[in-house]
């Protein structure tokens, strides 16, 4: 998850399947209770939301609801939600 902090690595990580892997790990561990999440998972989700490709992957894999859950306690997740405002698919809703 540390590679999520490097902007040059995030698109490659998304292509490699990290987004779906991280979402499935969190969903297996009481998705609504962040106390059970792996350390750094909320910030990793937030960092991955920086690229449109990864936002699309998060949305398709069910990670957007996890990001909303994380936004209750994590400022990084709250700021990441703002990245979704200007996505083309957000305009279609």
* Residue numbers in the chain where pLDDT is lower than 50: none
Q: Can you give the pLDDT at residue 92?
A: 61
Number of domains observed in the structure of the chain: 1
- Residue 45, sorted as left (phi over 0), alpha (psi -120 to 50) or beta, turns out to be alpha
Residue entry with tokens 């350390």: 39
* 51 contacts 11 by C-beta, under 8 angstroms: yes
pTM: 0.84
Q: Can you give the pLDDT at residue 91?
A: 57
Residue entry with tokens 């989700």: 45
Range of the domain at 62: 2-92
**86: which 2 tokens?**
């200007």
């Amino acid at each position: 998850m540390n590679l999520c902090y490097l902007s040059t690595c995030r698109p490659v990580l998304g292509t490699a399947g990290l987004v779906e892997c991280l979402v499935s790990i969190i969903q297996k561990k009481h998705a609504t209770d962040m106390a059970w999440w792996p350390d750094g998972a909320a910030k990793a989700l937030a960092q991955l939301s920086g690229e449109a490709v990864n936002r699309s992957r998060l949305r398709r894999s069910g990670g957007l609801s996890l990001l909303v859950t994380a936004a209750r306690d994590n400022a990084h997740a709250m700021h990441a939600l703002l990245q979704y405002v200007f996505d083309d698919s957000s305009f279609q809703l």
